[in-house]
Amino acid sequence: MLELQDVTAGYERRAPVFRDVSLTVAPGEAVGLLGPSGCGKSTLARVAALLHRPDAGRVVIDGTPAGGWRHRAPRAQRTAFGVVFQQPRLSADPRLRLADLVAEPLRANGRSAEVADAVRELTERVGLGPELLGRRPHEVSDGQLQRACLARALILKPRWLVCDEMTAMLDASTTAALVAVVEEYRAESGAGLLAVGHDRVLLRRWCDRTVEWDGLGASPGE
């Protein structure tokens, strides 16, 4: 279970983006969070994935309260999450070849021995051929780079996936392909999903249930 309890968060203490938001994702469940741009849903997604420290409230992951945020989060909790953002170019280190981009979480966790096999399996799964793996981000399209970012998010076999507007920049076919990869992974691993976005048609088709930002009980920051 992924539980967000009465979370208040933002970028300035005195003016949080939202207050008192609660949201729960059951094990294996896919929840779509819908809201207009600027409402704070990306901020909430980052809190859920332990990437942004809330001003107040709790995040409980499979019964254990979050033990820290960002690099201070306990490794076991940090690696329980796979995260994909809207803009692959902002989240991918431009110097890394795609193969190294995908392998990065394994190396960062001292598991270099597994890199070769895992990279082969995951890049195949997301449809990236070996000829692309030697390229750097500026040498591939947005869709190809997002495929690599999804492979990276799955490489530690997370129990929770957080996808923030993962497909907003992508064409219909690449969108359907990436969603299919996420769903295939979830079907075999039982991972839960929090998908954030503004495309109602997409999230309704993709997720078990969708919730509206306005229905979360968020009171505005100021």
Ligand X SMILES: Nc1ncnc2c1ncn2[C@@H]1O[C@H](COP(=O)(O)OP(=O)(O)O)[C@@H](O)[C@H]1O
Stretch that binds Mg ion, among 21-29, 37-45, 91-99, 179-187 (CB under 5 A): 37-45
Tell whether residue 91 is a contact of Mg ion (CB under 5 A): no
- Left if phi > 0, otherwise alpha if psi is -120 to 50, otherwise beta: which for 20? left
DSSP-derived secondary structure letter, 114: G
Tell whether residue 175 is a contact of ligand X (CB under 6 A): no
Q: How far apart are the first and last CA of the chain?
A: 31
Tell whether residue 144 is a contact of another protein (CB under 8 A): yes
Tell whether residue 222 is a contact of another protein (CB under 8 A): no
Site for another protein in 40-69 (CB under 8 A): none
Among 19, 34, 35, 42, binds Mg ion (CB under 5 A): 42
CB 98 within 8 A of CB 135: yes
How far is the C-alpha of 161 from the C-alpha of 164, rounded, in Å?
10
Tell whether residue 173 is a contact of ligand X (CB under 6 A): no
What DSSP assignment string belongs to 8-61? Answer: EE-SSTTS-SEEEEEEEE-TT-EEEEE--TTSSHHHHHHHHTTSS--SEEEEEE
Q: Please identify, using beta-carbon distances, which residue of 117 and 173 lies nearer to another protein.
A: 173
CB 150 within 8 A of CB 161: no
Site for ligand X in 12-41 (CB under 6 A): 17, 35, 37-41
Stretch that binds another protein, among 8-16, 31-39, 43-51, 187-195 (CB under 8 A): 31-39
Which residues share a beta bridge with 175? none
What is the contact surface with another protein in residues (CB under 8 A)? 36-38, 86, 127, 129, 141-144, 168-177, 179-180, 198-202, 204-206
What is the contact surface with Mg ion in residues (CB under 5 A)? 42
